[in-house]
Structure 1
Amino acid sequence: NILQHFCTIKHEPGEKNAGFDVLYHNMKHGQIATKELAEFVRERAAVEETYSKSMSKLAKMASNGSPLGTFAPMWDVFRVSSDKLALCHLELMRKMNDLIRDINKYGEEQVKVHRKTKEEVMGTLEAVQALQVQNGQLQKAREGYHTKCMELERLRKEGAPQKELEKAELKSKKAAESFAASIEKFNRAGGDFEQKMSESAQKFQDIEEAHLRQMKQLIKAYSHSIEDTHVQVGQVHEEFKQNVENIGIGSLIQKFTEQKGTGKDRPGPVGFEEYLSSQLPDNNKKSRAKAFRIPGLGKRDKEPDST
């Protein structure tokens, strides 16, 4: 129990009853932890976004793979796998952003609870301050009483006159009465402090338990989101592996031949063609053939071929 460690009343000079201060500031530190958790998750979301963009870049690179050769269809397997991985990490980024909103919402509620608690424990703070004041007066009264007793004892040893001894005894008696009154006031303040501190310590403990419970719940949501994404990524990798296995070497070659093949018909054998004189032009008909000339001597042969 928190009370057992923070409700001790200090009696020695210079010691303060700082348990309340420790518990109060520990409650405020919970707001810092909430903000830091939100910042951590925000950074994780940025990491997932960067990873998603990188996988999309890889998918585009695969889609631009060379369409030539028998390996070309494999690039589509890489493209599909990379696209799916990009979507997995993009979805995780969205889940992280949703979680950040939940953390911020809790942080707002946390501030309201702390503000309300501060008002409720103001009486304990006043009791702490009153106890510290009484503790200071108690120490002062104790020192004064001891000083007067030592002075009386010294006069007795030195054989001081009776009148002087009576005067010292009176001062010692008054100091004792003042010391006793201080003890009584301190004990009353201590009782009030212990009662109020007990109530406040329980409040602080309830707040811390609720805070830690909520923080663990948020971390659990963070963990589940990552776990779900890892399952999806595993499925994508398994699908990629199966796709690679399912595309056989024979099917790659078959697909290539279907797309790039020039025909299945083989050229037939060439037979001997007999020379037929009837194919020659009739001698009586005017030949339209060009006059015979020696290559290189004609004007046209000296000009570049227009075709």
Structure 2
Amino acid sequence: MMMEASFDTEESFDDPSCLAPQPPGSVSPAKRQIKEVKETKTTINCVTFPLPGEGPEQQLLKPNDWSYCDYFWADKKDPQGTAHVAGFEVLLQKQLKGKQMQKEMAEFVHERIKIEEEYAKNLSKLSLSPLAAQEEGTLGEAWTQLKKSLHDEAEVHLKFSNKLHSEVEKPLLTFRGDNFKKDLKKYDHHIADLRKQLASRFASVEKARKALADRQKDLEVKTQQLEIKLSNKHEEDIKKARRKSTQAGDDLMRCVDLYNQTQSKWFEEMVTTSMELEKLEVERIEWIQQHLRQYTTLRHETDMFNQSTVEPVDQLLQNVDPAKDRELWVKENKTGDVRPVDMDL
């Protein structure tokens, strides 16, 4: 992690006080300006931040919203601690994870459908069982209806599985197709390119800063030489050194300005793009919520339909009459209603 000073000072290095000869051992005003910046700002991985407690307190762009645009400016170490992951990369990983979770939810619903289909198949098969088929009377009617209700219930569960596929599983699978990852890559490349530009601008600032320091040091050395031995040549050398120092200061100011413009552009694009990703995440959650609600709606409907399949069974069971069954059975199976009598002598 690089930690360097920021150079967004607006003061010109053409200021004579910045470039005038300084006594040996003294610190030039330009250097003092840099030192003051070091006390208020720091540059981490080519991005400039205020030091804690320095300068006016920053306000969140979207207070009380926990918005993406407020909390992903810094880089973070990866789990291995060997590299840094940009805050924007964390947001992209969230999108990819959401896509994976959506896929796994669809797989889960698919497994639920398979259970329903197998259950329906087994119910339908059991409804054809010959077991207790010879039961008679009102109890036999109730038993026959109970077996039929299994067939009806199987149809209900089969319809439930079909609706789960068309109204829950399929939407989860098709929501944001293959183009979604391509769109994320576009976001990634766009922000990464801006970050590279920022790193390049920062390198230019560092180079210009070193050049200015070298020119100032050269000017101080020549000034000391002039104090020791006055000569026209030394005076001319000082003028040249002063011009070079002034030019180096101007170059640094120009590099800092370009750096700040690039960082401002990166900042604006980070806000805009992170808000886009936030919107996408809201849409994903609401989409899944909608279709999981559809799952529960279908489940309630299935319970209602299942209840309707057993209502005829309930009705027939209430009508079961042992006396009537006995009457029917006796009528069909009686062997005679003349009772035995005593034998005559």
Query: For the structure 1 residues 137 and 254, does the alpha-carbon distance in structure 2 shift closer, same or farther, using more than 3 Å as the test?
Result: farther
Deviations 1:145-198 (A, max 9, x none): 9997xxx7xxx9xxxx945x999x999999877765553333121111012222
What code does the residue aligned with 1:40 have?
F
- Structure 2 residue 134 is matched with structure 1 residue 67: yes
Superposition TM-score, scaled by structure 1 size: 0.65
Structure number with greater Rg is 1
For the 8 Å contact 1:3–1:201, the answer to whether it is kept is yes
Give distance in 2, aligned partners of 1:132 and 1:260. 101
1:125 to 192, 199, 224: 192
Structure 1: runs of 5 or more not aligned: 273-307
Query: For the structure 1 residues 199 and 243, does the alpha-carbon distance in structure 2 shift closer, same or farther, using more than 3 Å as the test?
Result: same
Give distance in 2, aligned partners of 1:226 and 1:239. 21
- Structure 2 residue 149 is matched with structure 1 residue 81: yes
Give distance in 2, aligned partners of 1:173 and 1:78. 100
2:104 to 36, 43, 46: 36
For the 8 Å contact 1:81–1:236, the answer to whether it is kept is yes
Structure 2 SS opposite 1:67: coil
What code does the residue aligned with 1:34 have?
Q
Query: For the structure 1 residues 75 and 146, does the alpha-carbon distance in structure 2 shift closer, same or farther, using more than 3 Å as the test?
Result: farther
Give the drift of 1:202.
2.3
Which structure has the highest helix share of the two? 1
Give distance in 2, aligned partners of 1:117 and 1:21. 10
- Structure 2 residue 318 is matched with structure 1 residue 245: yes
1:101 to 146, 170, 174: 170
Structure 2 SS opposite 1:222: helix
Superposition TM-score, scaled by structure 2 size: 0.59
Give distance in 1, aligned partners of 2:176 and 2:249. 55
- Structure 2 residue 120 is matched with structure 1 residue 47: no
Give the drift of 1:122.
4.2
Deviations 1:202-240 (A, max 9, x none): 221222222222222221221211111012223334443
Give distance in 2, aligned partners of 1:15 and 1:146. 32
Structure 1 SS opposite 2:317: helix
User: What do you get for the CA RMSD once the two structures are aligned?
Assistant: 4.2
Structure 2 SS opposite 1:64: coil
Give the drift of 1:120.
6.3
Structure 1 vs Structure 2: percent identity of aligned residues?
20
Give distance in 2, aligned partners of 1:79 and 1:140. 88
Which structure has the highest strand share of the two? 2
Task: Describe how 1:99-178 pairs up with structure 2 within 5 A.
Answer: 99=167, 100-108=169-177, 111-116=178-183, 118-119=185-186, 122-135=189-202, 162-163=224-225
Deviations 1:128-158 (A, max 9, x none): 222234445656777x59997xxx7xxx9xx
- Structure 2 residue 297 is matched with structure 1 residue 224: yes
Residue of structure 2 equivalent to 1:301: none
Residue of structure 2 equivalent to 1:2: 68
